[in-house]
Amino acid sequence: MPDRPAYVVAHWGVYQVDTTADRPTYAPFDDDPSPSEIGRSMAETLDDPCRIDRPMVRRGFLEGDGGAARGEDSYVATDWDAALDLAARELGRIRAAHGPEAIYAGSYGWASAGRFHHAQSQLRRFFNLFGGCTRSRDTYSYAAGEVILPHVVAPLERLLGGHTAWAAIAGAGATVLALGGVPLRNAQIDAGGVARHTQAGDIRAALDAGVRVVNVCPVRDRDALAGCEWLAIRPGSDMALLLGLAHTLVAEGLHDTAFLASHCTGFDRFLPYLDGGSDGVAKSADWAAGLTGLDAATIRALARDLARGPSVIAASWSMTRQDNGEQTWWMTVVLAAMLGGIGLPGQGFALGLAAVNSIGSLRRPLSFAGFPIPMRGPAPFIPVARIADMLEHPGAEYRYNGTTRRYPEIRAIYWAGGNPFHHHQDLNRLHRLWKRVGTVIVHEPHWTPLARHADIVFPATLSSERADLSGSTRDTHLFATDPVRPPFGEARDDHAIFAGLAERLTGPEGNTALHEAFTEGLTPGDWLRRMYEETRNRMARHGDEMPDYDTFRARGMVAFSPPAEPPTLLTAFREDPAAHRLSTPSGRIEIFSETIAAWGLDGQPGHPVWRAPVEWLGAAGRYPLHLVTHQPDRRLHSQLDQSSYSRAGKVAGRTPLVMHPDDAAARSLRDGDVLRVFNDRGACLAGLRIDDGLLPGVVTMETGAWLDLDPATPGLCRNGNPNVLTPDRGTSEIAQGPAALSCLVEVEAAPLPIPESRAYAPPEILRR
């Protein structure tokens, strides 16, 4: 161990670890002004009862059950050679018989904050060298936005990399229209780690500087925005509000015609829809009031306030995760363009303020090397949230981003990093269809629901058990992280597991050099040195001098300065749209897109439109409550759900369901009751919290509870995973993103006897 603090980096923070005691203790990084509490349980999960100590093979798989018992079966402990041999035989057999596209290799990238031990990169490098696989495209976070924005303004990655900072908004004294709120629980995390949690301080400084934040959300934002205005909007109607605001701007001559002419294209073709000339329905404030539940006078007054400026139209990432989620982000950009502030300091539009720690914080993009992924030409893919559709309808056609595609027939699933039984929707459907796949292989440190649905389970190490380079490219530091304890049991890191498979497999041309190609003859330590030197060279081109690798490891970190001026999106484009053309076909902001119009989609002209969600309170029937699911505040997604800190936030041992007092009284429910939450897709148990800080008719649940389906009650999750309730349908044929937030349910007291949750109990292990 070097003569300095031992650093461990997680997506929720950086920790200095004391290794002198019997059990390591984790203290937040000294320079973190507002550390997350999630890390307090990291030590206990190093060796909790959920850890997997050696390779495991599902008993039914060995007996040839075809997947019938997946999710409920016992496991046979085995040795590494036997497990690797078995997995290699399956991969080789399937590639030879059906082609590499018959293997779906999934990873969602959140398993590790390290740049070398990044499960998604390790998996993609291995399978690209193996000959390919079917993979996913886009993210559950904002898939609809990822697909629509390049046609409208710019790729989302570019926009997030230079996102407007709260400091710029504070300097402008702007009014922020915050669609979906600004939830600080999300700002605890960032992909690659968070050295300094500054989001709360940045927001408070902006408020103190006179920034007005209007929280447009069915839920009051208690944790971050005390004293801010709250407009309790009907879920799923944000698009109608944006149109009502836009109509008011035009009706009262408040829109910026000069900016629309100089920096945009297609406003003239959007205007007939807005004023009702094309369909007979003016998208006025009165029209929007009927859909949103807001007062028409409030909408008009808000439009006037935004026009007086400065203003920011801010849309949360959650806006994309609903029926027709593409439209809301498109219209966010259009409304900001009509106000004319895009590119002016602290004005324009924002996409996900506080969605992660870096969005809105004073940051500049950094250029860090990652584990290299060789390319072998176009790779087959599916939209990330269409896994179950792929499994149920092999060979079926679907529309995506202007193309007609076809689902492959999947014979094997290989997963390293992430938990589809957390982030996917309609988990009863996924559970049923997952059993159709011939072989499922996963890397997992713990007995998560994914591990319980696998045939071959390779025990993976945790970040605390390996050395790495860690740091987000939207953060302030790069860290040399250290193993603070040996691997648990026989656990191996992802790189070692793939290297072991590569020893047993050939390349796509039948050559025997797959292991050499994958490792390049380098140890993990060699890779870390190479990746650091590449990072050092990249940063030198940006004027940042970094020490040599040995000095870096001895010091443990290197810090990077913030930008000289608080960034604002699209400043160069604002100053000279000809010299700094956007990547859209016109080089301008496309209010009307000829590209999208040419796709010929039903109900989708070349401009943003209102389409009522499939499920919402505007058309509630048997299920009268709108369920809003959100990220948890005591874990990251489903990571550490088994920890004491996560479990301390539950109610009666279940995921909390928050309900308005009027809705609770109508059902004779009391705070702390165990509930049954249900619809036609399934049911889950939850613990009731009563709170007047949400719109009547709306209930909320956090995601991430480990799935625990009750064998005695089909469709019921005993542990409170709300994704047994959410719909598994695409946002639209544009992006096919997840539409989890368009969901109706009913709630009742759980019938007695209430079944015990078994989410954190390992399966039966048969040891030879």
* Residues 675 and 657 sit within 8 Å (Cβ to Cβ): yes
* Residues 441 and 106 sit within 8 Å (Cβ to Cβ): no
Region of residue 715 (phi > 0: left; psi between -120 and 50: alpha; otherwise: beta) = left
* Residues 695 and 393 sit within 8 Å (Cβ to Cβ): no
In whole angstroms, give the CA distance from residue 23 to residue 204: 37
Alpha-helical regions (H) of 542-660: 549-555, 571-575, 594-598, 644-648
15, 104, 110, 760: which is the annotated catalytic residue? 110
Classify 122 as helix, strand or coil. Answer: helix
In whole angstroms, give the CA distance from residue 104 to residue 441: 10
Characterize the bridge pairing of strands 397-400 and 6-10: unpaired
In whole angstroms, give the CA distance from residue 623 to residue 616: 10
In whole angstroms, give the CA distance from residue 153 to residue 150: 6
- Tell me whether residue 26 is one of the annotated catalytic residues: no
- Tell me whether residue 527 is one of the annotated catalytic residues: no
Q: Long-range contacts of range 524-528, CB-CB < 8 Å, 24 or more positions apart?
A: 524/116, 524/466, 524/467, 524/493, 524/495, 525/467, 527/116, 527/371, 527/495, 528/116, 528/467, 528/468, 528/469
Q: What are phi and psi of 3, to 5 degrees?
A: -85, 70
- What angle, rounded to 10 degrees, do the helices at 296-308 and 285-292 form? 120
Contacts of 131 (CB under 8 A, 6+ apart): 95, 100, 376, 507, 508
108, 166, 287, 434: which is the annotated catalytic residue? 108
In whole angstroms, give the CA distance from residue 331 to residue 314: 11
Work out the angle at residue 227's Cα, subtended by the Cα atoms of residues 221 and 229, and round it to the nearest 5 degrees. Answer: 70
* Residues 114 and 463 sit within 8 Å (Cβ to Cβ): yes
Tokens 């009522």 correspond to what residue? 612
| 316: its two tokens | 């949360």
DSSP 316-351: -GGGGSSTTHHHHHHHHHHHHHHHT-TTSTT-EEEE
In whole angstroms, give the CA distance from residue 141 to residue 305: 31
Contacts of 680 (CB under 8 A, 6+ apart): none
Task: Give the residue numbers annotated as catalytic, written as ranges.
Answer: 108, 110
